[in-house]
Amino acid sequence: LPFPSIMRLLTHNMLHCNRKGCTQDNYPLRLVPKEVEVEENEFNIEFTRHVLQKLDWSVLRHVVHELGLGELPESCPANDCEDETLLRQIHHVVLDVHVREGELVCNNCERVYPIHRGVPNMLLLQDELQLCEYRSLSQADRQTDTHTQREGEDGNNPIPLFVTIQSSL
């Protein structure tokens, strides 16, 4: 069976508008759910504690309230939180709540990103993209950064590359 597609509130908590020129008020995206379901996952207290470090707590509190999933405390619990009831509640809203259909909307540019079958489509249209120019580095530049290299066509010789972002802003 194929792996089911799901967008969790954990995913929503990390997404922002990536449209060219949209750099202010592009996070969080407004969640407009059309189909939400709850599917319980095995509770893992250590994973839940770890996720606390990654969350934008105010965004999570807001979306939990908007979806009518209850209320979360005003402040994010510490990573060493021992309150299992609270950690189970956080686990539930972050991992068990799945948005199957809906939209994510940028508060700045009003760009709509559809959610279909649990997958948020964050792809941009051609006119929304920044122009990218790919070119090989000169011989002098090839001796430095290995993070910008890819394998050559023969699979052995690395070809250094870098990307120049051109913006029309």
- Residue pair 88/107 in contact (Cβ under 8 Å)? The answer is no
The rounded distance, in Å, linking the Cα atoms of 26 and 33 is: 18
Nearest to 52 by CA among 16, 82, 15: 82
Closest by alpha carbon to 118, among 3, 6, 4?
6
Which pTM was predicted?
Answer: 0.72
Integer angstrom CA distances of residue 8 from 11, 31, 87: 5, 11, 17
Burial class (CB in 10 A: 0-12, 13-18, 19+), 167: exposed
pLDDT of residue 50: 94
Question: Within a 10 A sphere around the Cβ of 23, how many other Cβ atoms?
Answer: 12
Confidence of residue 127 (pLDDT cuts 50, 70, 90): confident
- Residue 149 CB partners (closer than 8 Å, separation 6+): 158, 159, 160, 161
Mean pLDDT, range 138-161, rounded to an integer? 45
Q: What per-residue confidence (pLDDT) applies to 130? A: 58
